[in-house]
Amino acid sequence: MSEVLKRNNVKVIGNKEKVIMFAHGFGCDQTMWRHIIPSFLDDYKIVLFDYVGSGESDLSVYNAEKYASLKGYVRDVLDIVEALELRDVIFVGHSVSSMIGMLAAIQKPDVFQKLVMIGPSPRYLNDHEYYGGFDERDIHEMLDMMEMNFIGWASYMAPIVAATEKHPAVAKEVEKSFSSTNPKITKQFAEVTFFSDHRKDLEKSSIPVLIIQCSEDSIVPIQVGEYLHHHIENSEFKIMDVKGHYPHLSHPCETAELIKGYLYQV
């Protein structure tokens, strides 16, 4: 248990019976949730963690073979659940964590109650009639930039994904988060994220799912949210009238209210 908690820098807040687990996205860490956590303190035990390679996780245990697919990250989530003996978990995942949470719930549906996806995508690459938002060339160019000039990549990418017009502070925070990660690990996580394809897994999802999408998102177009809603049987789809890929940073109150409205409905 202690090894798992140290590995993923697990933090548990509160001692309520109901559990909500927040999972950060690519290039980020658990601090990204700090603005919406207060909205859930009265009713939930809150579980936070960092994926290996992010935040204050134990970098010494990083294994390139283990984390060559999302399966390694799924295993870590399940390890945390088992170490803390959690049940009826509400899993809130941002971006790639949405798929990680879904895959974990497919493996262990008895320990997950609901899944909230913020800016999710089962596949980022365009494919025949499927529009994911990126061509393969786009991803290779991004990976090349990460390898040649990692800090430059972070500075270039952050304003794009954060939609800076009204929230320049969000872009600065995302850039700082990107820049603070291990370049080699982050590049591999990017490859795993952007070349993954979990469309065939959607029909295996059995727990209730809330899909939250921003109306303008440079990473995940609206068509992807619609695709997820169409292919996940027990799902609800909510579009926020905001820009960017990080509504929990730019619009924390609205994001928290959407989640609470879904969780508290009869």
**Annotated catalytic sites, by residue?**
95, 217, 245
> β-strand 45-48 against 11-13: which pairing, if any?
antiparallel
Q: Which residues contact 150 (CB under 8 A, 6 or more apart)?
A: 179, 183, 186, 187
Cβ atoms of residues 114 and 213 within 8 Å:
no
User: Residue 261's closest CA among 153, 161, 114?
Assistant: 114
- For residue 126 the two structure tokens come to 């365009």
